[in-house]
Amino acid sequence: MVGGVRRRPVRAVILAVVLSLVGGFGFAACGTTRQADRSPAPGASSTSSTSVAATALRPPSSTSTATSTSTVPPTSTTSTTAPAGPPPLQEGSSGPAVLALQRRLVALGFWLGTPDGRFEDATLHAVVAFQKAEGLSRDGVVGPLTEAALARATRPLPRSRAGRVIEIDLARQLLLVVSGGRVEWVMDTSTGAVAGTTPTGHFHVFRQVDGYDHSPLGVLYRPKYFVGGVAVHGYPSVPASPASHGCVRVTNEVMDWFWSTGAMPIGIAVWVY
């Protein structure tokens, strides 16, 4: 009957519908969250909140640490060591540099025979004579100082001004062959080790022996005497300092040159100072 419809059943129906709707909404919200954990929406980041947190707590890798802390040592293209120069010329050397040295010494008047590019005994004594003339160390080695002196040197000057004279310079231990006030040749020599045993003054060659002369003070090679028993003579040893008993020592090669050229004849003046 229409007029007899009750109100209670209607309210019950309405309440049931409302509860059904509320329960449906709550199920949809939880389902959406779970679906988001499993598969994100297109365009969203694929990293979950859990993976992001794990990444934030993960320590830096060894590779990235080495890259950030490693340093490359600086390199330099400038050497602090001076470049090595050519080796010094000395006895035993040979070649174009020695030949140039010999020609320079000959041009300055230092006797060494014929230049041949070999640094042997005659060249050694010529270098020593040059070092004596220039006031350098008498070692017979052509190092930087001797080389520089060779570049600027001029022919030594004599004391005599006329005629042919053999000059013996005791202070520098040199023998000079002089003609007309100009030095023709300079030879290495060694005079008396004791002062005064080689007399100073003006003399002349008065006697000579073409061979070995046995004297009370030793054997003299091809001597040319200029006062008493004092002579210019050849000897195997001609040190850079005074070492004789009073005679004027030169090498045997120099003495042979004197005899072959006639550069020290009987009567030539000898000036010792």
pLDDT in tens, 22-52: 344 333 333 333 333 333 443 444 343 333 3
Across the chain, the runs of DSSP E, i.e. the strands, are: 164-169, 174-179, 182-188, 201-204, 207-208, 212-215, 218-227, 230-234, 248-250, 269-272
Question: Residue 84 — very low, low, confident or very high, per pLDDT cuts 50/70/90?
Answer: confident
- Residue of 246, 210, 212, 218 whose CA lies nearest to 231: 246
Average pLDDT, the chain: 80
Q: Is the pLDDT of residue 186 over 60?
A: yes
Dihedral angle over CA of 124, 127, 129, 132, nearest 10:
-130
pLDDT in tens, 247-259: 999 999 999 999 9
Name the token pair of 205: 């060659």
Structure tokens at 249: 């020592």
Q: Are residues 178 and 147 part of one domain?
A: no
Residue 180: which CATH number?
Answer: 2.40.440.10
User: Is 157 domain-assigned?
Assistant: no
Residue 74 lies in a domain: no
CA pair distance 122, 228, nearest whole angstrom: 29
> What share of the chain has pLDDT > 70, as a percent?
70
CATH of residue 105's domain is 1.10.101.10
